[in-house]
């Protein structure tokens, strides 16, 4: 069985949460029911029986994130890597390249995404070159929108003004190790970032891309309202 390396994107500055609860720290250290968001995330992933963690941080808060994690998870195998420039979600994933063997699978999760149930349960995510997880939402224009035709992914578009569907890719992805070379080949978007949707498009064109819909609730805890929602759910 292929080994899975779990990469957590934890380098975002959380601009939508600036001054929330008088906090000027990274959102990964914001408290959710008295525990940091990054600790909540690790607890979630450990409950999914995952290991071999790689956490992508930023230069400003790297030490604080490490201290927070090492106090609570002293016996967990974790590597840390710094994303020196905030150049997008795909760029953050690229920082983990040196820690992932060529024949491994990468489970990539955005650190502020939480799920009611383990999306990996009863799914053969390892047989595909890439696997994405979808949700039907009322505000698709705020996410990467997926168009399905005949039960297959036809297109994916980042934050479109006129979404082709209400299906969005949540912040959880499975890739093979070819993802790093694909990231190096994509161009910055109009907003100056290397988008995860651009990486998924590479797999859509060149590889085997599969998907599944997630069951139960899913929260992207990137806003004050979402933080309060997740506190009531966890």
Question: What one-character-per-residue DSSP string does 48-66 give?
Answer: TT---EEEEE-TTTHHHHH
pLDDT tens-digit readout, 149-180:
999 999 999 999 999 999 999 999 999 999 99
CATH class of 4-133+170-233: alpha beta
* pLDDT tier, 14 (very low <50, low <70, confident <90, very high otherwise): low
Cβ atoms within 10 A of the Cβ of 22, count?
Answer: 5
Residue spans of the domains in the chain: they are 4-133+170-233
Note whether 185 and 163 are within 8 A (CB).
Answer: no
DSSP state of 187: P
* pLDDT tier, 125 (very low <50, low <70, confident <90, very high otherwise): confident
pLDDT tens-digit readout, 45-85:
999 999 999 999 999 999 999 999 999 999 998 999 999 99
- Res 123: pLDDT: 83
**Mean pLDDT along residues 13-19:** 69
- Res 135: pLDDT: 98
* pLDDT tier, 40 (very low <50, low <70, confident <90, very high otherwise): very high
Radius of gyration (C-alpha) of the chain in whole angstroms: 17
């Amino acid at each position: 069985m292929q080994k899975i390396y779990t990469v957590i994107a934890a380098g975002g500055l959380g601009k939508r949460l600036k001054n929330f609860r008088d906090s000027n720290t990274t959102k990964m250290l914001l408290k959710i029911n008295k525990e940091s968001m990054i600790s909540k995330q690790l607890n979630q992933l450990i409950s999914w029986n995952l290991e071999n963690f790689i956490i992508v941080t930023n230069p400003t808060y790297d030490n604080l994130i490490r201290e927070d994690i090492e106090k609570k998870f002293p016996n967990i195998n974790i590597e840390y890597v710094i994303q020196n420039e905030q150049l997008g979600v795909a760029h953050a994933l690229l920082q983990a390249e040196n820690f992932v063997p060529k024949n491994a699978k990468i489970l990539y999760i955005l650190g502020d995404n939480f799920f009611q149930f383990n999306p990996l349960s009863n799914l053969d995510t390892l047989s595909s070159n890439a696997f994405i997880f979808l949700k039907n939402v009322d505000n698709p224009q705020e996410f990467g929108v997926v168009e399905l035709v005949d039960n297959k992914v036809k297109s994916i578009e980042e934050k479109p003004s006129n979404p082709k569907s209400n299906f969005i890719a949540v912040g959880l992805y499975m890739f093979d190790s070819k993802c790093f070379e694909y990231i190096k080949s994509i161009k910055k978007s109009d907003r100056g970032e290397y988008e995860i949707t651009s990486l998924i498009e590479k797999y859509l064109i060149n590889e085997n891309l599969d998907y599944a819909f997630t069951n139960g609730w899913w929260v992207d805890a990137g806003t004050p309202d979402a933080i309060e929602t997740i506190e009531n759910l966890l």
